[in-house]
Each structure stands twice: as C-alpha cells, then as structure tokens.
Amino acid sequence: MSEETTLLIPFESYEENAVNIGTQQKSADMARFIDTVREDGLYLLDVNMTDSRIRSIAEFLNRYDSPRIMVVSARQYGQRPARKFAESIGANAAVGRFIPGSLTNPVLRSYVEPDVLFVTDPAADQQALREAVNSGLPIVGIVDANNNLRNVDVALPANNKGRRSLALVYWLLAREVLKVRGATTDEDWAEAQDLEEWQSTF
C-alpha cells in the first residue's frame, strides 16, 4: 500500500492502460528503465520511474512560457492526446506529418521558434527531433523499451505506441503541469477532463 500512496494514480491504472507494456526489443539506452521481461518476451517498463518522471517533467516544462513549448506527434494514437495536452497547458502542437523546416526555415508558414520540444516518439518524430537538435533545443520525449536516447535530454519511459497509454500519460502530465501552477487539483481535473475523451482517435 505504501507504494501506491506515493504514485500519482494507483499502480493498477498504469497497468490497465498498458503504460508499462514495452516492446520485444530493448535498446541499451533503455535498460535502466526496464522492470522485467514477460514470458512472451515483452519488456515491461518500471512504472515507478514513469511516475516520478511525470512529476519532474511537469516541473521542467513550467520553467518555460507555455506558448514556447512545442509538442509533436506523428503517431496516430498520440495526436489527440498531444493536441489536448497542448491546449490544456497553452502550448503549441504539431500533430500528424511534421512539415520539414518548421523549426529551421523562417520562410515557411509553419515556422515556429519554441524553447523546448516534446516528442511523442523519438523514432516516429525524427524530423522534428533532428531540427530541434540543429536548433539547440532541449528535447523531452516519451520513450519506449526500443527507443534510442541519443538526442533526448529528458526521457519519460512509457508505452508510446498504445492509444490508452499515450492518452493517460498526456492526461496525467497536463494535470501535473497545471497543479504545479496552482491551476487545478486532482479532483477538479478528473471532473473537467474525461480520460476517455483523450483516448478517442477522432
């Protein structure tokens, strides 16, 4: 029980939403975030580390002006949660196909100059990641068991492929960012933001 009181939500909620379900491949970078290997060969991520990273990333993001935070998601299941996260905290979102040059070419209509980039999956969001690296931006990323962390400055270990996992991670992160600002409470957030809506793909 003591473990549960220290988590942002019950351990079971992380499990039910498959936040801890990794991939069948493990990168050397991610070894420290792996809890165990399932019989079917899936690597399971350490929920305690996921939980503590959500807290520290909420603090980290609050060092920046919201409009200067850029959230990207090429992955279909990450698009709605990423957009809702951005709306909730007042950040910028680029979901779907990332237009090359959006962070490097001032001539483009899509050009923005964020202070920090948040990627849903470093592999799927490679174009944005590369441009952020070239621009010297700090990069926060949701990272799965198979991800490479070379260009990710702050890693949030979680299943970044599942619809329910991505919805829960972004929902929780938005709540924690706003709690740090004193703008919401757990109860108010749960009432105002239905997690199931974040999980919808439409």
Cβ atoms of residues 69 and 115 within 8 Å? yes
Please tell me the pTM assigned to this model.
0.96
For 95-153, the pLDDT digits (tens) are: 999 999 999 999 999 999 999 999 999 999 999 999 999 999 999 999 999 999 999 99
> CA-CA distance, 25 to 146, in Å (whole number)?
5
For 145-191, the pLDDT digits (tens) are: 999 999 999 999 999 999 999 999 999 999 999 999 999 999 999 99
Cβ atoms of residues 73 and 165 within 8 Å? no
DSSP 161: S
Which residue blocks in the chain are alpha helix, DSSP H? Answer: 2-6, 11-16, 47-61, 76-89, 126-134, 163-180, 186-192, 195-199
DSSP 157: E
> CA-CA distance, 159 to 148, in Å (whole number)?
14
The full set of domains in the chain, from first to last, is: 2-192 (3.40.50.10490)
Cβ atoms of residues 130 and 152 within 8 Å? no
